[in-house]
Structures are given as C-alpha cells and as structure tokens.
Structure 1
C-alpha cells in the first residue's frame, strides 16, 4: 500500500516527501556509484516525489549516453544523497525518480527490512539479474 514518507539530507537544507509502496520492492545495485554509497533505493514516478525545500542547495552528478541519462542529487552543504532521477531506455524510457531509503526520516526499520529486495548487477550492465555476490551490498 502506498504511503507518504518524508525525507531530508543530514543538515535538513533539502527536504522532500514521496509516496512509496514498499511492498512493490526496493533495490540494491553493485555498480560503482551504488557500491561506494551503499545505496538502497526505491523507484517512483516523478508525480510521487515532491521536493519541499532546498532546490538551490541540490548538487547534481549526472551521466548520459546512448543508454539514457541519470542524475544523482545530493546536498551541497552536507553532501548527503537524497534521490536521483533520469530516463534509461533499457528500463522502458519513462522518467523515474529513485529515492534513497536512508534519507527517509520516518521509515520504520521493521517496514524497511520486510520490504522485498532486488539485487541488480549494474557493474556488468546486467541490470535484470543479481550479481554473483550480494553479501557486501
């Protein structure tokens, strides 16, 4: 069931809310960006994500290519990543927002750990399959 959660960076300069259905699953990836951040995310449509404050404080690390584009957004004050967005052709080409679950302020731990989890082998561009090793993710 979809529920509205509130989130923020560490210094609270960036705040947001997102309508999430944790029963639809969360994800962890082994690509170099996700691995270095120990990222745990959930994807939503842009309509289900609302930036409440801090647009002027958000920095952007973006990449693009023939595969599409992706933007990793983080607070320029404290450095905490809150979300990402983009459009990836292999994922249907629709715009997406990826919410960092660790940035949610009101997510009960029990709800997080019981949510389905999918592992993705982004390191080898094998997004639809889990990597051989997931213990470190």
Structure 2
C-alpha cells in the first residue's frame, strides 16, 4: 500500500510504500520527547517529494540514526539508519501519514533508554 505523509506545514513531504501492520514506541531520550510512532520500511520504499536540502537532520549519541525534521514547523516525519544486518531503513512517523487510524495500528514498546 502507498501512503502520503508530511510535516505540519507541508514543507517536508514524502510517499511510503509497505504494509502498515505495526509501529514502535521508543522511550529513548529523543523519542520520548517527540512522541513518534515509528514504522520501519526499507529506505528505497521511502520516496521524498521534497529536496533533501529543505530537510534538517539531527544526530546524537552514537550518530547512527539521522532524525530528519522540518526546519520551518519542527515536526519529525521520518528518520534513517541501518538495521542489524546492514540494510538501509527508514523509520516513518505514522502520526505524519494521511488517513491512518492510529488506534487500529498495534504499537510495540521498545526500551531504547536501556541501550
């Protein structure tokens, strides 16, 4: 299935493809503050509709995850990194997807604080 998503002001827009069968809620220092619900897909299933120069990026700790956000409205619609096998992944904030009933998506808790 294809989904459209964006930040609040629409400056950062994208399309994501895949089966949205669950999301993750993380309690690490940044995710706890953002309140994101992350859906992981292969990076090549994320198609940016915004020039990468118009997207801001924040990294911290081990600098292995690029937390992307809109420099205008501050919303964090997605991040990028690699999975344990070395595959490029995108973490889509499902709160930024159009037409998704958040209550229908099972959410798994992840203890990122313990890492």
Give me the TM-score of the superposition, normalised by structure 2: 0.90
Task: Report the Cα offset of residue 64 of structure 1.
Answer: 6.0
Give me the TM-score of the superposition, normalised by structure 1: 0.77
Higher RCO by CA contacts (8 Å cutoff, separation 6 or greater) = 2
Q: Does 1:96 align with 2:85?
A: no
Matches within 5 A, 1:56-95: 56-63=53-60, 65=62, 69-88=64-83, 91-95=84-88
Q: For residue 5 of structure 1, what is the aligned residue in structure 2?
A: 3
Cα distance in 1 for residues equivalent to 2:112 and 2:29: 8
Cα distance in 1 for residues equivalent to 2:18 and 2:9: 23
Cα distance in 1 for residues equivalent to 2:104 and 2:92: 17
Q: How many residues align?
A: 115
User: Is the Cα contact below 8 Å between 1:64 and 1:70 reproduced in 2?
Assistant: no
Q: For residue 104 of structure 2, what is the aligned residue in structure 1?
A: 114
Structure 2 runs not aligned, ≥5 long: none
User: Is the Cα contact below 8 Å between 1:15 and 1:51 reproduced in 2?
Assistant: yes
Match of 1:21 among 16, 19, 22: 19
Greater strand share, structure number: 1
Specify the SS of the correspondent of 1:63: coil
Cα distance in 2 for residues equivalent to 1:57 and 1:121: 31
Q: CA RMSD of the aligned region, Å?
A: 1.6
Structure having the higher Rg: 1
User: Is the Cα contact below 8 Å between 1:30 and 1:120 reproduced in 2?
Assistant: yes
